[in-house]
Every structure is written in structure tokens, then in C-alpha cells.
Chain A
Amino acid sequence: NAGVTQTPKFQVLKTGQSMTLQCAQDMNHNSMYWYRQDPGMGLRLIYYSASEGTTDKGEVPNGYNVSRLNKREFSLRLESAAPSQTSVYFCASTDADTQYFGPGTRLTVL
């Protein structure tokens, strides 16, 4: 039981490049989330998915798209990366009682 896994762990992009952050959970949870964490800030919600095929915007969705591929996987895509998207990205899933977080992806946009 690996919990919530994320790939890659680290990534450096140039402004304007695109990439997809991958997240998977093996706990059979329906709900999944993407957050970003910036220095001196708490985590802020980017997108939420209640189940396969459904997604909703969170507090800071601009510049991002998501795909809930199946119950296990929830990906976050940056179509045209900007320096303001330099951050640590965390994926989470919930059993409607507790939210479990992955180890994070540290993204730098130059």
C-alpha cells in the first residue's frame, strides 16, 4: 500500500514550456485534490475531483488544467509555464474522513 504517489519529484522548466504532473492513489478513494505550497504560505487548493470524470476549480486554478483519468489517477497540466508557477505541488486524496498527501513535486520555472 503506497498511499499517494507523485511523479516527478523535481522538475525545471523554461517559461512557456508545458508539462504534466502525475498523481496516483491506491486507497480506493473517490475524492482527489491538487494544492500548491509557496514559501511562508499554507497550501492552497488548485483543483478538486469528487470522482472519475468530474473536476472543480479551487482557490487558484488559473494557468492549470486537470484530468481525472480513472479512480486512481489525477493529473495536473501546465500548458504554458510561468515563473509565478514555481512552487511545490501536492496531490491528496480523501476517504471523506482524512486527507492523505503525497510527497510533492518541486517545480521551478525559469
Chain B
Amino acid sequence: GENVEQHPSTLSVQEGDSAVIKCTYSDSASNYFPWYKQELGKGPQLIIDIRSNVGEKKDQRIAVTLNKTAKHFSLHITETQPEDSAVYFCAASKYSGGGADGLTFGKGTHLIIQP
């Protein structure tokens, strides 16, 4: 089955700086790569996703890049703000929305924005 590795486990950056979180996956059949943000005591919330037919996607301060050859994808957050502090999860799946196998998640990155 699919295996997703995520690094780093904790990332501390100064407010206004950029943050980068990296993930690798094992199954070359995976085609859908979402990123979720989880705040304390809440469920994961989708912040951006990318499908294998594109290499990069951007939404305001958030961007995701995908390298299918190397089987890795990354989340980039620019101009970080205190409200960006949370745990971020990457995931992979063969199908948009998860399909029958669901999403395979990385172990998460605790992003801390220092004032």
C-alpha cells in the first residue's frame, strides 16, 4: 500500500517568514495530493490540493508543488501569520477525494509562528 513520509515534524518560523513542509510518497499510482490544516481540538480542514496533471498550484499565500518523477510534493506558506500556527498534514491517494482506499496521511508537521 501507499506510504507517506512528512518532514519536519516541528517547524518554528518568525512571523512574516516563509515555511516549507515536504512529503514523499511510495505508490506511483497516486494522483491526488491534498494538504490539511488541523487546529487544536478540531477536525482537519483542506487548505489546498494538487492533482498529478499539474506541477504547481497557488492560492494567495499558499502554494503546493509536485514532482511525480521523484515522488515528492511540498507545501509553501509565504508571509506567515500567527493564525497559520497549526498542525499540517499531507496525504496521497489514487483518486480525487480518496476513493475506496481513503487518503494515506503523513504524520503531520506542527508549525509554530513566532511573533
Contacts and interface: CB of A to CB of B under 8 A. Distances in A.
Contacts, number: 72
Interface stretch (B14-22, B52-60, B101-109): B101-109
A41 B46 CA distance: 18
A96 B45 contact: no
B115 interface: no
B43 to A, nearest CB: 4
Contacts of A31: 97-99
B43 A101 contact: yes
A42 B4 contact: yes
Contacts of B106: 42
A97 B102 CA distance: 12
B82 interface: no
A98 B97 contact: yes
Contact of A48 (B6, B46, B91, B100): B100
B102 A42 contact: no
A98 B35 CA distance: 11
- Looking at chain A, what size class is its interface with the partner chain? 20 to 34
Interface in A9-48: 31, 33, 35, 40-45, 48
Contacts of B9: 40
B22 to A, nearest CB: 15
B103 A43 contact: yes
B89 A42 contact: yes
A103 B49 contact: no
B84 to A, nearest CB: 19
A103 B97 CA distance: 18
A96 B102 contact: no
Given A94-B97, A99-B34, A40 B42 contact: no
Nearest to B46: A98
Cβ-closest 4 pairs across A and B:
A42-B105, A101-B43, A94-B97, A45-B102
Given A42-B91, A59-B102, A101-B44, 16 more contacts: A35-B102, A40-B108, A41-B107, A43-B44, A43-B103, A45-B103, A56-B100, A58-B102, A94-B98, A96-B97, A96-B99, A99-B103, A100-B46, A101-B36, A103-B41, A104-B43
